[in-house]
Amino acid sequence: MKTIIITLFFSIITNYITAQATDNLDNETLFVLFEKSESTNKSYVLSKNKKHKEIKNYLYFYTDYNSEIKFFTFDCSAYFSLDDQINNTNPAKRFSIHKSFLENNFIIDNSYIDKVGFDTVFEMLFKSKTIFVIDKSEIKGDKITLREAKLDYPPEE
Protein backbone atom coordinates (compact mmCIF):
# COMPACT_ATOMS: atom_id res chain seq x y z
CA MET A 1 0.00 0.00 0.00
CA LYS A 2 2.86 2.35 0.85
CA THR A 3 4.45 1.67 -2.52
CA ILE A 4 1.25 2.53 -4.37
CA ILE A 5 0.89 5.82 -2.49
CA ILE A 6 4.54 6.77 -3.13
CA THR A 7 4.26 5.86 -6.82
CA LEU A 8 1.03 7.85 -7.15
CA PHE A 9 2.62 10.84 -5.40
CA PHE A 10 5.65 10.88 -7.73
CA SER A 11 3.42 10.45 -10.77
CA ILE A 12 1.33 13.47 -9.78
CA ILE A 13 4.44 15.58 -9.06
CA THR A 14 6.01 14.61 -12.41
CA ASN A 15 2.84 15.50 -14.34
CA TYR A 16 2.56 18.82 -12.48
CA ILE A 17 6.18 19.76 -13.24
CA THR A 18 5.78 18.75 -16.90
CA ALA A 19 2.61 20.84 -17.22
CA GLN A 20 4.36 23.87 -15.72
CA ALA A 21 7.34 23.45 -18.06
CA THR A 22 5.15 23.28 -21.17
CA ASP A 23 3.02 26.26 -20.06
CA ASN A 24 6.09 28.47 -19.78
CA LEU A 25 7.51 27.58 -23.20
CA ASP A 26 5.13 29.63 -25.37
CA ASN A 27 7.01 31.85 -27.84
CA GLU A 28 10.41 30.66 -26.70
CA THR A 29 13.26 28.91 -28.44
CA LEU A 30 12.92 25.14 -28.36
CA PHE A 31 15.60 22.53 -28.94
CA VAL A 32 14.82 19.10 -30.39
CA LEU A 33 17.23 16.17 -30.25
CA PHE A 34 16.59 14.09 -33.37
CA GLU A 35 17.11 10.39 -32.73
CA LYS A 36 16.52 7.69 -35.34
CA SER A 37 13.57 5.46 -34.41
CA GLU A 38 10.53 3.71 -35.87
CA SER A 39 8.58 6.98 -35.84
CA THR A 40 11.34 9.25 -37.22
CA ASN A 41 13.19 9.59 -40.48
CA LYS A 42 15.87 11.88 -41.91
CA SER A 43 16.61 12.87 -45.50
CA TYR A 44 18.21 15.72 -47.35
CA VAL A 45 17.88 17.51 -50.66
CA LEU A 46 20.82 18.94 -52.57
CA SER A 47 20.37 22.20 -54.44
CA LYS A 48 22.56 24.99 -55.80
CA ASN A 49 22.46 28.73 -55.29
CA LYS A 50 23.22 31.51 -57.78
CA LYS A 51 26.96 30.96 -57.36
CA HIS A 52 26.52 27.22 -57.99
CA LYS A 53 27.40 26.46 -54.41
CA GLU A 54 25.94 23.11 -53.33
CA ILE A 55 23.47 23.40 -50.45
CA LYS A 56 22.32 20.46 -48.32
CA ASN A 57 18.81 20.93 -46.89
CA TYR A 58 17.93 18.48 -44.11
CA LEU A 59 14.41 17.22 -43.41
CA TYR A 60 13.52 15.48 -40.14
CA PHE A 61 10.19 13.59 -40.09
CA TYR A 62 8.16 12.62 -37.02
CA THR A 63 5.04 10.45 -37.36
CA ASP A 64 2.31 9.20 -35.02
CA TYR A 65 -0.78 8.00 -36.85
CA ASN A 66 -2.71 7.77 -33.57
CA SER A 67 -2.45 11.53 -33.01
CA GLU A 68 -4.61 14.32 -34.40
CA ILE A 69 -1.80 15.89 -36.44
CA LYS A 70 -0.36 12.54 -37.72
CA PHE A 71 3.08 13.94 -38.64
CA PHE A 72 5.31 16.99 -38.72
CA THR A 73 8.61 17.81 -40.35
CA PHE A 74 11.52 20.03 -39.44
CA ASP A 75 12.92 21.76 -42.51
CA CYS A 76 16.54 22.63 -41.76
CA SER A 77 17.27 24.38 -45.02
CA ALA A 78 20.32 26.51 -45.52
CA TYR A 79 17.85 29.28 -46.47
CA PHE A 80 14.14 29.54 -45.70
CA SER A 81 13.19 31.35 -48.90
CA LEU A 82 14.11 30.78 -52.53
CA ASP A 83 15.05 34.46 -52.97
CA ASP A 84 17.51 34.24 -50.06
CA GLN A 85 19.01 31.08 -51.50
CA ILE A 86 19.42 32.56 -54.99
CA ASN A 87 20.94 35.78 -53.62
CA ASN A 88 22.94 34.03 -50.91
CA THR A 89 21.43 36.28 -48.18
CA ASN A 90 19.84 35.64 -44.76
CA PRO A 91 21.05 32.08 -44.20
CA ALA A 92 19.37 30.01 -41.50
CA LYS A 93 21.31 29.81 -38.26
CA ARG A 94 23.69 26.88 -37.89
CA PHE A 95 26.45 26.61 -35.32
CA SER A 96 28.44 24.20 -33.18
CA ILE A 97 28.63 24.30 -29.41
CA HIS A 98 29.91 22.13 -26.56
CA LYS A 99 27.76 19.07 -25.85
CA SER A 100 27.33 20.12 -22.21
CA PHE A 101 24.53 22.24 -23.71
CA LEU A 102 22.43 19.05 -23.73
CA GLU A 103 22.75 18.72 -19.96
CA ASN A 104 22.00 22.37 -19.15
CA ASN A 105 18.92 23.04 -21.30
CA PHE A 106 15.41 21.70 -21.85
CA ILE A 107 15.65 19.40 -24.88
CA ILE A 108 12.70 17.67 -26.55
CA ASP A 109 13.71 14.11 -27.37
CA ASN A 110 11.87 10.87 -28.21
CA SER A 111 11.38 9.95 -24.55
CA TYR A 112 9.81 13.37 -23.84
CA ILE A 113 7.48 12.97 -26.84
CA ASP A 114 6.46 9.53 -25.52
CA LYS A 115 5.94 10.96 -22.02
CA VAL A 116 3.75 14.01 -22.80
CA GLY A 117 2.29 12.93 -26.14
CA PHE A 118 2.79 13.77 -29.79
CA ASP A 119 -0.01 16.36 -29.93
CA THR A 120 1.25 18.21 -26.83
CA VAL A 121 4.77 18.44 -28.28
CA PHE A 122 3.39 19.61 -31.62
CA GLU A 123 1.44 22.37 -29.84
CA MET A 124 4.62 23.47 -28.02
CA LEU A 125 6.55 23.56 -31.29
CA PHE A 126 3.75 25.41 -33.08
CA LYS A 127 3.72 28.14 -30.40
CA SER A 128 7.49 28.58 -30.28
CA LYS A 129 9.26 31.43 -32.06
CA THR A 130 12.41 29.52 -32.95
CA ILE A 131 13.27 25.81 -33.18
CA PHE A 132 16.73 24.28 -33.36
CA VAL A 133 17.33 20.63 -34.27
CA ILE A 134 20.27 18.67 -32.90
CA ASP A 135 20.96 15.50 -34.91
CA LYS A 136 22.22 12.87 -32.46
CA SER A 137 24.07 11.03 -35.26
CA GLU A 138 26.17 14.16 -35.89
CA ILE A 139 27.47 14.59 -32.34
CA LYS A 140 31.24 14.34 -32.69
CA GLY A 141 33.48 14.34 -29.63
CA ASP A 142 32.43 17.23 -27.43
CA LYS A 143 30.72 19.27 -30.22
CA ILE A 144 27.09 19.34 -31.31
CA THR A 145 25.58 21.16 -34.29
CA LEU A 146 22.39 23.18 -33.91
CA ARG A 147 20.35 23.88 -37.04
CA GLU A 148 17.54 26.41 -37.15
CA ALA A 149 14.38 24.66 -38.31
CA LYS A 150 11.01 25.53 -39.78
CA LEU A 151 8.06 23.43 -38.61
CA ASP A 152 5.99 21.97 -41.46
CA TYR A 153 2.77 20.01 -40.92
CA PRO A 154 -0.32 18.91 -42.87
CA PRO A 155 -3.19 21.39 -43.22
CA GLU A 156 -6.31 20.83 -41.14
CA GLU A 157 -9.06 18.96 -42.90
Residue 16 pLDDT exceeds 50: no
Element (H, E) at 145: strand 143-152
Average pLDDT over residues 1-12: 42
- Domain boundaries of the chain, sorted by first residue: 28-152
Pairing of strands 94-98, 143-152: antiparallel
Flag whether pLDDT at 122 surpasses 80: yes
Highest mean pLDDT among 21-35, 80-94, 109-123: 109-123
Torsion sign over Cα 100, 105, 108, 112: positive
Contact present, 16 and 6 (Cβ < 8 Å): no
Q: How many CB atoms lie within 10 A of CB 123?
A: 17
* Residue 106 pLDDT level (bands cut at 50, 70, 90): very high
pLDDT the model gives residue 98: 93
Q: Which residues are CB-contacts of 12 (< 8 A; sequence separation ≥ 6)? A: none
Question: What's the average model confidence in pLDDT over 90-95?
Answer: 88
- pLDDT at position 1 over 90: no
Q: Which of the 8 DSSP states describes residue 77?
A: -
Mean pLDDT calculated for residue range 69-92 = 84
- pLDDT score at 26: 46
Q: Is the pLDDT of residue 20 over 60?
A: no
Check residue 156 and give its pLDDT.
67
User: What is the C-alpha separation between 34 and 154, in angstroms, rounded?
Assistant: 20
Note the helical H segments in 24-149. Answer: 82-87, 101-104, 110-116, 118-127
Say what the alpha-carbon torsion angle 118, 30, 34, 56 is, to the nearest 10 degrees: 120
